Structure 1
């Protein structure tokens, strides 16, 4: 339990890409067998980009709701109440055969309105951060740019390019800090036509040292140091 607690306290440091190689290796080994720590690391990893902007002097600050939020919600409730009253008045004038459907219709309208209010005030998650990275192209015909997207399950490389030989299979790979090479998928060249390719790897962003694209003969087409 003492070792588990000590390793768990290092999850924040690991998520930020810090720690000695020996410490990171020990924590990776622990994560292989600890569901609890893997889940906690998955929750910490998306926050890496935001931690650098945290102001320690504002940690105790409690954010306030958007201006006018309460008024908008109350106005929506009042509008639905008025609609329900009108429906009740109309109900009194409707023949008995049609009255059986009125309660269901009113309930459906109120439920739909409640869903609409909830949808408007729901918290909207921020899009994943794009990290532009420099690309070194080894083939003159190829033009390419790339962005890296960190995920809890690994790392995504969004590759934009043109000039890859049409129909040829290209292979992408990510190299970890310790030299291990991990596949990031394959794609077909589209010739001069511009393409956008999302390449996925199980390597976490903080553990990635570089990525490369190789042609069908194994020759390096482009690389990027991370």
Structure 2
């Protein structure tokens, strides 16, 4: 239990891809045997796109966070001070998001079944299966600042590090998300790009070594 508690202070930074190699390897080893922490990492990876989908009215209506959330956040900040300025800034950013929006309420909006009057399902574009068994489906929603993206994919080997690259009709390239496959099975992640929805030409899922796994036409 103590090992799990220690690792959980790293999960936010892990999901953002800012851990150093030694810390990332330690988290990877723990996630291989801990479905509870894997689920928490999945939740962290959804955070960026959730914020993009929340409008001003929903922010004002967000529920007051429970006391235990504040206690946990303060503990994370204290841990961040011991681990250096970078971790402290990450903890502070997470605290401002959690306290301002009500993390649990935001996730329930994205996870609930059926249509919501505030959030509607974005149109989706499907990619055909590639020769090595990798398949993906992407959901896109136009926003004032660009495009919110949701990707579901299967067939990528465990420990593969990937990036989602948005490509505009003018050739502009923008990294919309990055992640690592830490366990077998379908993966779901979210990202965002400043390229407007009507200017997107295609999306690429590429490894950190530069190998293109899938190209997804969206124009």
- Which interval holds the TM-score relative to the shorter structure? 0.3 to 0.5
Query: Higher relative contact order at CA 8 Å, sep ≥6: structure 1 or structure 2?
Result: 2
Query: TM (normalized to structure 2)?
Result: 0.43
Query: TM (normalized to structure 1)?
Result: 0.42
